[in-house]
């Protein structure tokens, strides 16, 4: 069974946050920051697919989506960062929170598909040692089961 859901958060040119939710619809907007989070459920593993930038303007979207699902009981989680081209400390904070909550519930949290620029941030901050990281989504889903 595979379910897909998408939440988008952007800021307009004047710094005002706009957000929308839709079922797998993609809209390109001319905004400063853009993050789309898609959700797939494969068997008992919840996969978050992050597309775009995770910065101080968009981290709240990621947090509400990921932490909300974990609080609903998701304890086998993959976060696919293959289409994430930037992550700030605000994004790292959300990932750390998610990892801690899943670990305390006895679950598995696996990251995958990091672009070199994102991987560099994880390496410099020491986050590579904190999380299980796989190259592909398929490997990550298998590791999270």
Q: Print pLDDT tens along the chain (145 aa).
A: 344 455 554 444 444 444 444 333 333 343 456 899 999 999 899 999 999 999 999 999 999 999 999 999 999 999 999 999 999 999 999 999 999 999 999 999 999 999 999 999 999 999 999 999 999 999 999 999 9
Neighbours of 86 (CB within 10 A): 16
47 bridge partner residues: 40, 78
pLDDT score recorded for residue 79: 98
The stretches of 1-136 forming alpha helices (DSSP H) are 59-71, 89-104, 116-125
pTM for this structure?
0.77
Query: Which CATH number is 4-10+33-144's, of 3.40.190.10, 3.90.1280.20, 3.30.70.1380, 3.30.750.24?
Result: 3.30.750.24
Angle between helices 59-71 and 89-104 (to 10 degrees): 10
Ordered by start, the domain boundaries in the chain are 4-10+33-144
């Amino acid at each position: 069974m595979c379910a897909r859901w998408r939440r988008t958060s952007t800021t307009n040119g004047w710094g005002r946050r706009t957000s929308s939710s839709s079922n797998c619809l993609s809209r390109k907007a001319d905004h400063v920051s853009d993050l789309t989070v898609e959700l797939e459920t494969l068997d008992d593993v919840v996969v978050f697919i992050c597309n775009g930038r995770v910065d101080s303007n968009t981290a709240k979207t990621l947090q509400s989506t990921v932490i909300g699902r974990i609080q609903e009981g998701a304890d086998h989680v993959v976060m696919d960062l293959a289409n994430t081209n930037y992550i700030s400390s605000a994004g790292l904070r959300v990932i750390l929170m998610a990892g801690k909550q899943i670990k305390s519930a006895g679950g598995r949290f696996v990251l995958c598909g990091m672009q070199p620029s994102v991987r560099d941030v994880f390496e410099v901050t020491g986050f590579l040692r904190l999380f299980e990281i796989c190259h592909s989504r398929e490997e990550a889903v298998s590791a999270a089961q």
